[in-house]
Amino acid sequence: MSDTPRTESFNCYDNGCDNPLHAWGAFSAELERELNAANYRIKRLEQALDTLTLVVGLTPIRGNLAALQEAMDQSRAVLKAKEDKP
């Protein structure tokens, strides 16, 4: 499988365009928007992981499962709120 299957399968004329440059511009803008969204989600997940790592590093897991679960629930809530925000 290719590293760039969508790009390789993109065909201007299959997408009903007369101007290949315009079609490629629109297609590349779509890919860039998707990349930015994915990078944003990765950043938020890394921040959540940093928070959880800090909590786990400071809290013995066996003795404080409730504290760890609370931290995980809070992290999930923050990520969900960020994702739901336009």
pLDDT digit string, tens, across residues 15-58: 667 777 777 888 889 999 999 999 999 988 888 877 777 777 76
Q: Name which residue leads in pLDDT, 39 or 4.
A: 39
* DSSP for residue 59: S
Domain count, the chain: 1
Report CA-CA distances (Å) from 86 to 2, 37, 72, 73, 82: 33, 12, 23, 22, 8
Q: Higher-confidence residue: 77 or 32?
A: 32
Predicted pLDDT at 47: 83
**pTM score:** 0.56
**pLDDT for the residue numbered 37:** 93
- Give residue 35's domain range: 5-84
- For the segment 76-83, the average pLDDT, to the nearest whole number, is 83
